[in-house]
Structure 1
Amino acid sequence: MSINLSNPATLQENSGAELFTINTGLFKLDGGAMFGVVPKTIWSKTNPADENNLCTLAMRCLLVKDNDRLILIDTGIGTKLSDKVKPFYHLHGDDTLEKSLASYGFTPDDITDVLLTHLHLDHVGGAVIKYGEQLLPAFKNATYWTNEEHWQWATENPNDREKASFLKENLEPLQQSGRLKFVKIKDGIQFSPNIKLHFVSGHTHAMMLPLINYKGRQIFFIADLVPTTGHLPIAYVASYDIHPLQAMAEKKTFLQQALDNKYVLFFEHDAINECCTLQQTEKGIRIKDLIKLTHI
């Protein structure tokens, strides 16, 4: 089902959303893969690697209380990786999705909507949980949102480059639950009173980037368009990106938009830095201030 959410008649009075940072744990990926053609002597200054050339990354999600809806943006990698797959991701840290929710007084049953920026396993894995031998939606009262083009991209004939990230165990239970719905692809579409969605296709096809109204500021959940603060330079794109030149062009466009409109960038994968503002420098658009949502 594809739903157009842009009808103003469906929107409640806009008073700004409440935001809660949801940390779900840390993992590691190869530093060279994270920075593509950029030499290690350069990228390691901002994202130091361990003795195996692995960089530590966060899986930082965002909970949005928007009037009567409690919307979780992405879900981390989850807890059901097989023993065969788990060693590739070096999961560590004390944070979990449930513990982070509980720290604000919420439970998984409180979530009304799960907005998935895209369907790679480190973003959608926590959407499904294993009960005994059953795979079931982790948020039993929630509607799960993606878009039809990205769903087809991930499920119908996944390409050799990405298919290891599109695990059936994360996707089929959502479809079978009857709780999966599709957002119509339209740049700037209104998902909820305080969330608009933008679409990019350099990292993967039809990734959704939420822009959220919060305390009079615009918070840009940048997902894998800019995974960490170390990826702000235009040419610093991951080798995971399916269309690197497109990813660079999209990054250039959205960073300029963020600068012009004084957006706050919210980083999903930066293990140290949660948010930043931007400024123009001789080298391009760079960090102005490193901040947390609680300091806005």
Structure 2
Amino acid sequence: MKLYPIETGNFKLDGGAMFGVVPKTIWNKTNPADENNLIDIAARCLLIEDGNRLILIDNGMGNKQSEKFFGYYSLWGTHSLDNSLAKYGFHRDDITDVFLTHLHFDHCGGSVQWNKAKTGYETAFKNAKYWTNENHWEWATKPNLREKASFLPENILPIQESGQLNFIKRPESDLLDKSELGFGIFFADGHTEKQMMPIIQYQDKTICFMADLLPTVGHIPLPYVMGYDTRPLLTMPEKSKFLNAAAENNYYLFLEHDAHNEIISVEKTEKGVRLAAVFTCDEILK
């Protein structure tokens, strides 16, 4: 097995929205805001090469939305999904599986693209199976008003229409030891219904893809919960359970949204679980 970080592009989000009730005087220390109160956000995905399978975990915003849409998110930097794949000698047609932690646009927008005539949509990974879970699919395709702006039909429905949609089998608990894709999955409901965090055994390490359970280093303290979470009081115990397990078992936490910290470890302290060390992907995924 080999793991590759796939940088699909950077954007910015409102710092207050990212930290909910936490005052700016506190979160600005770890996630400094610009003059518009925006903080740097990454869309760092992960590619797993395992035998004949090439599994892409999440795929960023994509590029099919309007200029007005992208204007809301202040895109910056030079990263792109295609360039990141090419860096490691791959093309999107090589992808066998696309695993979606959840269906918010910044995680699954790259799943679907315009057709050549720009008259409709087609899947961006034509040879891949797309994986979500049935509960989350139902949640996303019949969205509540709070999340409706994050679940865009053009990012989601063409996957089903293409015949490439597949569902991960849910365990009875919140932890699936081994999924159809060969890795474990932690299910969490605080951010959105049945978000899935992959837990990958790699060499002698456990790599956890944190998605929106832990967006950035600044979100490690339990009350530091995004305003985007639908059930913040549920996020806290879910995060507590995961971070305590990470500290006890020396997990490496792969951060999808932290533009400046790629992989971290955590430790238990008198104040609770806190940051232990920061690593680059090159250091851990080599």
Aligning the two structures, in what range does the TM-score lie when normalised by the shorter sequence? over 0.9
* One-letter amino acid matched to 2:136: H
Cross-structure match for 1:26: 10
Give the drift of 1:278. 1.2
Residue 244, structure 1, aligned to residue 232, structure 2: yes
Confirm or deny: 8 A CA contact 1:75 1:125 kept in the other structure.
Answer: yes
Match of 1:143 among 129, 133, 138: 129
Give the drift of 1:292. 2.0
Segments of structure 1 that go 5 or more residues without pairing to the other structure are 1-16
Deviations 1:168-223 (A, max 9, x none): 11011101000001011112242256411110000000000000011210000011
Match of 1:89 among 73, 76, 92: 73
Tell me, in whole angstroms, the C-alpha distance in 2 between the residues paired with 1:265 and 1:197: 14
Cross-structure match for 1:195: 183
Cross-structure match for 1:117: 101
Cross-structure match for 1:164: 149
Confirm or deny: 8 A CA contact 1:66 1:193 kept in the other structure.
Answer: no
Runs (4 or more) in structure 1 with deviation over 6 Å come to none
Residue 287, structure 1, aligned to residue 275, structure 2: yes
Cross-structure match for 1:130: 114
* One-letter amino acid matched to 2:187: F
* One-letter amino acid matched to 1:153: W
Q: How does 1:35-54 map to 2 (within 5 A)?
A: 35-54=19-38
* One-letter amino acid matched to 1:167: L
Deviations 1:228-263 (A, max 9, x none): 001000000001000001001100000011111110
Name the structure, 1 or 2, with higher relative contact order (CA <8 Å, separation 6+). Answer: 1
Compared CA separation, residues 245 and 239, structure 1 to 2 (3 A)? same
How many residue pairs get aligned? The number is: 279
Tell me, in whole angstroms, the C-alpha distance in 1 between the residues paired with 2:52 and 2:43: 26
Tell me, in whole angstroms, the C-alpha distance in 1 between the residues paired with 2:81 and 2:71: 20
SS at match of 1:61: strand
Normalising by the residue count of structure 2, what TM-score does the alignment of the two structures yield? 0.95
* One-letter amino acid matched to 1:134: G
Confirm or deny: 8 A CA contact 1:199 1:208 kept in the other structure.
Answer: yes
SS at match of 2:149: helix
Segments of structure 2 that go 5 or more residues without pairing to the other structure are none
Confirm or deny: 8 A CA contact 2:123 2:159 kept in the other structure.
Answer: yes
Tell me, in whole angstroms, the C-alpha distance in 1 between the residues paired with 2:256 and 2:232: 19
Q: What is the CA RMSD across the aligned residues, in angstroms?
A: 1.1
- Percent identity of equivalent pairs: 55
Deviations 1:22-66 (A, max 9, x none): 001111111000000000000000000010101110000000112
Give the drift of 1:83. 2.7
* One-letter amino acid matched to 1:142: A
SS at match of 1:24: strand
Confirm or deny: 8 A CA contact 2:99 2:132 kept in the other structure.
Answer: yes
Which one is further off, 26-35 or 285-294? 285-294
Normalising by the residue count of structure 1, what TM-score does the alignment of the two structures yield? 0.92
SS at match of 1:250: helix
Tell me, in whole angstroms, the C-alpha distance in 2 between the residues paired with 1:262 and 1:34: 27
